[in-house]
């Protein structure tokens, strides 16, 4: 039995998944802010940022954070989709050549 406060295999695995989810959520937020429909798609990352700011500045407990975690998963899914689209576009070898008009 591990001592109190000592990380176990489960906490190490969850920390890795959390880091991956936050990285994908960051890329998803970037992709949603740069998309053509950015006014609608930027609502979820803005809500996550507002809850994160309230938690950091107000010192809210972890139970208040639970309402935001589905939004983080949604933004991470946007990041996964953006990575998949970029990978397929680069794999095909086609590029968009902008005209002079």
Question: Is 2 or 9 the better-scoring residue by pLDDT?
Answer: 9
Query: What residues does each domain of the chain span?
Result: 28-88
**Residue 94: predicted pLDDT:** 67
Question: Is 52 or 10 the better-scoring residue by pLDDT?
Answer: 52
**Residue 101: predicted pLDDT:** 67
Whole-structure pTM value: 0.68
**Residue 17: predicted pLDDT:** 76
**Residue 48: predicted pLDDT:** 82
Query: In sequence order, what DSSP letters do the residues of 18-47 get, joined into one string?
Result: HHHHHHHHHHHHHHHHSSTTHHHHTHHHHH
What pLDDT digit, counting tens, does each position of 43-81 carry? 888 888 888 787 778 776 666 667 788 888 888 898 999
CA 93/CA 75 separation, integer angstroms: 28
Q: Is the dihedral of CA 41, 44, 47, 49 positive or negative?
A: negative
């Amino acid at each position: 039995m591990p001592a109190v406060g000592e990380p176990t295999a489960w906490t190490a695995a969850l920390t890795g998944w959390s880091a991956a989810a936050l990285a994908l959520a960051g890329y998803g937020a970037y992709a949603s802010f740069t998309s053509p429909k950015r006014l609608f798609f930027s609502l979820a990352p803005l809500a996550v940022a507002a809850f994160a700011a309230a938690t950091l500045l107000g010192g809210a407990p972890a139970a208040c954070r639970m309402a935001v975690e589905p939004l983080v998963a949604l933004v991470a899914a946007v990041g996964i989709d953006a990575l998949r689209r970029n990978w397929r576009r680069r794999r095909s070898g086609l590029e968009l050549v902008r005209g002079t008009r």
